Structure 1
Amino acid sequence: MTIPRILAIAGSDSGGGAGIQADIKTITMLGGHAMTAITAITAQNTLGVTQVMPVPTEMVLAQIDAVASDIGVDAVKIGMIGSAETARALAERFDPERARHEEAPPINMVFDPVMVATSGAVLADAETIAAFHALMGRATLVTPNVPELEVLTGTRIATVEELLSAAMSLAKQTGTQILAKGGHLPTDEIFDVHIISGRFESYSYGQRPRIETRHSHGTGCTLSSAIATGLGAGLSLVQAIDNAQLYVRAALEAAPGLGAGHGPMGHGLGHAYFPPAT
């Protein structure tokens, strides 16, 4: 039996709704083996982030090298990075030229350029965001939401047409496929725009009814790790995106309603296993 080996590089969310915790749950639910390189430790709950402690860059790289050298990696998801130094080191670590030199196969990588938590807490400073560009050029897919795309392109986005224009601009800048998430737009339906690199005039819309809930913490982390799991399992990028969007919607519908703020999704989809009493 083979199982997709998925490496999640992200920060830890003590509330369990986003970050590395959401990645592990998602990868496991979708049939993958989750491995981690933790980039930062956060103290947070559904009401917000109270403290952030970045993990030193050398420790982030050590985690990556430890699992890659023994277990192997089929796909990578990158979320919260923690520092500009770590962002630059990851861009170097996943440089295609390095892989060719080491005669290693290319690895699918999904980059979710996390900047701000759902609660509004800043998770990436200006220097770290500036370092994102080299890393985006290494990725198979970049998955910004509207606020992130505005920062990355320096544009204001208020409509689906502006979302499409900004996503095309970022695709041309990076040479990378872009999945621009439109959940922040004031529309009754969610529009996600997938820009296909190399054919920038080619794009597709994902259009689904909006699920009204305050329990949406970790949607971006969940979507990107779900896409990475699909890619690691051998799905095409389009198939991986479709499956991931369906999983996110199911997890939103199954949210357990925890906390007084932006609560976690129901990654387990309502399933529970209790061993029989002895």
Structure 2
Amino acid sequence: MTTPPVVLTVAGTDSGGAAGLAADFATFAALGAHGACAVTAVTAQDTTGVHRTILLGADDVRAQIEAVLGDLPVAAAKAGMLGSAPVAHVVAELLAGVVPLVIDPVLVSTSGAVLGDDALVAAYRDVLLPRADVVTPNRYEALALTGLPRETQPEQLALALHALGPAVVLTGGDPRAGTCRDVVVRDGVTTVLEHRAVVTANDHGTGCTYSAALAVHLARGLDLETAARQAQVFVAHALATSATWQLGHGRGPVAHVITHFHKEN
């Protein structure tokens, strides 16, 4: 077997197994990558919400990232839940410009729990995003990072984020409309990638899964638009798989039982 690419995730745990590191590792494996990690937080979490969060210190996260970089040939990295501004500074210092870096700016959980304060938002804007390769927010995260009004159109939101430095994949859309639209902005050029919507409440972990898939495809050397579309296909397939599941009492997990997806697509 060919040695797989190594993708590093810097993120928190989800005891319910739907989001965070659980989603990242499952996605890496499904797409044929070897996953490494730096844990930023431990959460007591299930499909109904985040019940407790224990943040690790910046030095703890630094030690994990340095251990991975010192031993493994990391081909790409993604940053999910960071939890604090000092951790964002560590990610920027150790990973930006070293490997393709995908930022999934986790600020609010699917259940509405706040996972980042104003200092972290400022660190994203001023330190991390200007040095990252691509950011993959949903609409609510993009609004928090830009401070723009809620009625701002997706294309304008994506351009405002792009003005901070990174390429942008603004994910989302209204599934009830039948089509979802991801807005990609790179080098000032806007591309809209549409895909058939999957209407389901089993979507916990979707953002983590998307950014993890994008990181794998970038690690394989795909250009951003192609990587974004491949990640889109993977997530849509995962949502279709989990649509009929009955797990938990809240928003159920997106499927992470897709094996050998990279060989089928």
The alignment's TM-score, normalised by the length of structure 1, stands at 0.88
In structure 1, what residue type is equivalent to 2:44? A
- What residue is the counterpart of 2:162 in the other structure? 171
Percent identity between the two aligned chains = 41
| Structure-1 separation of matches of 2:74 and 2:250 | 36
Contact 1:146 1:184 (8 Å CA) reproduced: no
Contact 1:257 1:264 (8 Å CA) reproduced: no
- What residue is the counterpart of 1:78 in the other structure? 79
- What residue is the counterpart of 2:145 in the other structure? 152
Contact 2:176 2:199 (8 Å CA) reproduced: no
Which one of the candidate residues 252, 255, 272 is aligned to 2:239?
252
Which one of the candidate residues 181, 184, 204 is aligned to 1:194?
184
1:192 shift after superposition: 0.9
Which stretch of structure 1 is more off in the superposition, 183-192 or 74-83? 183-192
Query: 1:107-186, aligned counterparts within 5 Å?
Result: 107-133=99-125, 134-158=127-151, 162-172=153-163, 174-183=164-173
Q: Say yes or no: does 1:263 pair with 2:256.
A: no
1:72 shift after superposition: 2.1
| Structure-1 separation of matches of 2:256 and 2:96 | 32
1:11 shift after superposition: 0.6
1:170 shift after superposition: 1.4
- Deviations along 1:192-237, whole A, 9 cap, x unmatched? 100012xx2x211111222111100011100001000011122222
Which stretch of structure 1 is more off in the superposition, 181-190 or 145-154? 181-190
Q: Matched residue pairs, number?
A: 256
User: Can you give the 5+ residue segments of structure 2 that lack an aligned partner in the other structure?
Assistant: 261-265
- Tell me, what secondary structure is at the counterpart of 2:101? strand
1:267 shift after superposition: 1.5
1:95 shift after superposition: 4.5
Larger radius of gyration: 1
In structure 2, what residue type is equivalent to 1:245? Q
Measured at CA, do residues 208 and 118 of structure 1 come closer, stay the same or move farther in structure 2, by a change above 3 Å? same
Which one of the candidate residues 217, 220, 227 is aligned to 1:233?
220
Contact 1:157 1:163 (8 Å CA) reproduced: no
In structure 2, what residue type is equivalent to 1:107? V
Which stretch of structure 1 is more off in the superposition, 254-263 or 43-52? 254-263
- Deviations along 1:35-90, whole A, 9 cap, x unmatched? 01010000010000100010111111111111111112100010000111111222
| Structure-2 separation of matches of 1:61 and 1:5 | 18
Which stretch of structure 1 is more off in the superposition, 19-28 or 148-157? 148-157
Query: 1:57-72, aligned counterparts within 5 Å?
Result: 57-72=58-73
Measured at CA, do residues 86 and 154 of structure 1 come closer, stay the same or move farther in structure 2, by a change above 3 Å? same
The alignment's TM-score, normalised by the length of structure 2, stands at 0.92
| Structure-2 separation of matches of 1:72 and 1:49 | 34
C-alpha RMSD over aligned residues: 1.6
1:185 shift after superposition: 8.2
1:187 shift after superposition: 4.0
Which stretch of structure 1 is more off in the superposition, 177-186 or 28-37? 177-186
User: Can you give the 5+ residue segments of structure 1 that lack an aligned partner in the other structure?
Assistant: 97-105, 272-278
Contact 2:12 2:42 (8 Å CA) reproduced: yes
1:94 shift after superposition: 2.8
Measured at CA, do residues 10 and 267 of structure 1 come closer, stay the same or move farther in structure 2, by a change above 3 Å? same
